Chains A and B, each alone.
Chain A
């Protein structure tokens, strides 16, 4: 493996971990709202949130590029805050991967939150727990399995992202070039053995992660009351 490939592996792992984390935080908040709300906008909201699953990654990446770039409609925010623009940066990649893996992260969290018995949350309320306190002391611990699954799925999805990454600018060696893009470059240069090696690494990572998901979620039935 060339030093460049090693760097790409490192960037990939870093990107996957950070975007999984941010998707997890966002996913927990959104998943909680989706699982508990009776709002009539829930359906539309869920449809919008699942778009990254069905829209081609290049399309998602294109819009994000426009949004995060220097001439974007939110560019004034960049000036106000001193942050951004994010196109062609590692932060941009995190944002892109977070958005594209969000639907995969929200789903298991939402399912886990929906499975929590309303009575249990109400019992916590009658014992003096505020809504925020209930979220942290009851909802999150009881949804633990769902949260772990979500984190792993988010990590796996971000580790394999290609279209989104390439569109936002992920081909700068040492900064934004990730494994999937490195593989593409090797194939372009007819360096099949290196492409094999990197592809193998991604497959192994994916295999390990998906085994973890299945190990953590055995099909055991929870005790019925």
Chain B
């Protein structure tokens, strides 16, 4: 099955969207760029919410747009699930009726899972009888996700679903998105200006700047580029794929193997998933010329410098290869000069701290078991 997406849409004020993306047949495609770069316009074109868009969109052999042949399939006839930044719930309906609104309009497609399974996994089962008015931001967004899943989508479109949430609900929501991805493997397009979200969720990433799509690559490569949003800020981060080897219960340490060797990370409990991602900030990676004899830092590994970029007045962003894995380090310009950092130079990197993404499983069965009876109202 083939897919294709090439778009052009002029907007008022001289802004022109000119985009070409590879729609995923599996996995998550991240669209990464600053606010106002046209990400939302692009994803709205995919959803069919921009009737004046020109170009061609084919998803899994279904033609959604072909402006040369004057084909435009409107949003309600595309097999999509769209999650808006502000949830966009139907406030005149209960949570249950919000979900049924999608469920009843699946357009003859097979539902991705039982109603109860979806509400259980998204954690909205206890909310079903409530009205939407008094839900918290995180709850609203979970209902919106469950509702989108109910309509049997073949492509999920996430329009910065975490942007309007506070930090704690954001973490919970990210875990939920990972679970949804793992449970149903629905291809998805995820737009964000947060490297952290893409590090956890995306498989491939397309960079966008000023209405144009620029570069596409796998998420691990793209995150270590110097031209991503925030790459030059204190929050620059990178991700590396890893496998959980063992868990030391006495010291609460997980041993992970990755392309650069092995890594020890403190975890309060054993990671529940084998294939995880290590996500670390560039500022937590320091560089040294010699292997230190004794250090409180657990993770020290050899790296080769592949690039050096100014990042603000006092800092530099150093691109490194650890084995095959691209990583980043953010150090002062002064240190970079003192270490004489240049491409090809071999150094040791010390990783102070990192987190794991994609490491937890579905909520315990007891959560879903309470509400096994299908609701009929």
Contact = CB atoms under 8 A, between A and B. Distances in A.
Interface string B104-120: 01110000000000000
Nearest to A126: B82
Interface string B38-49: 000000000111
Nearest to B80: A126
A120 interface: yes
Contacts of A212: none
Interface residues of A, number: 21
B102 interface: yes
Nearest to B77: A128
Interface in A105-129: 117, 119-120, 122-129
Interface bracket on B? 20 to 34
A127 B105 contact: yes
A61 B352 CA distance: 85
A211 interface: no
Contacts of A126: 47-49, 75-76, 78, 80-82, 148, 151, 157
Nearest to B133: A223
B92 interface: yes
A123 B82 contact: yes
Contacts of B102: 127-128
Contact of A122 (B87, B88, B91, B133): B88
Interface string B56-95: 0000000000000000001111101110101111111100
Interface stretch (A3-11, A80-88, A137-145, A171-179): A137-145
A130 interface: yes
A133 to B, nearest CB: 8
A122 B75 contact: yes
A225 interface: yes
A119 B75 contact: no
B92 A141 contact: yes
Interface in B97-154: 101-102, 105-107, 133, 140, 144, 147-148, 150-151
16 contacts: A120-B88, A122-B47, A123-B84, A123-B89, A125-B74, A126-B76, A126-B78, A126-B82, A127-B102, A128-B102, A128-B105, A131-B76, A137-B101, A141-B93, A142-B90, A225-B87
Given A129-B105, A138-B90, 17 more contacts: A120-B89, A120-B90, A122-B49, A123-B90, A125-B74, A126-B75, A126-B80, A126-B151, A127-B102, A127-B147, A128-B77, A128-B105, A128-B106, A129-B76, A129-B101, A133-B76, A142-B91
Q: Across the A-B interface, give the 6 residue pairs with the lowest CB-CB distance, nearest first.
A: A128-B105, A126-B82, A119-B88, A123-B88, A125-B75, A127-B102
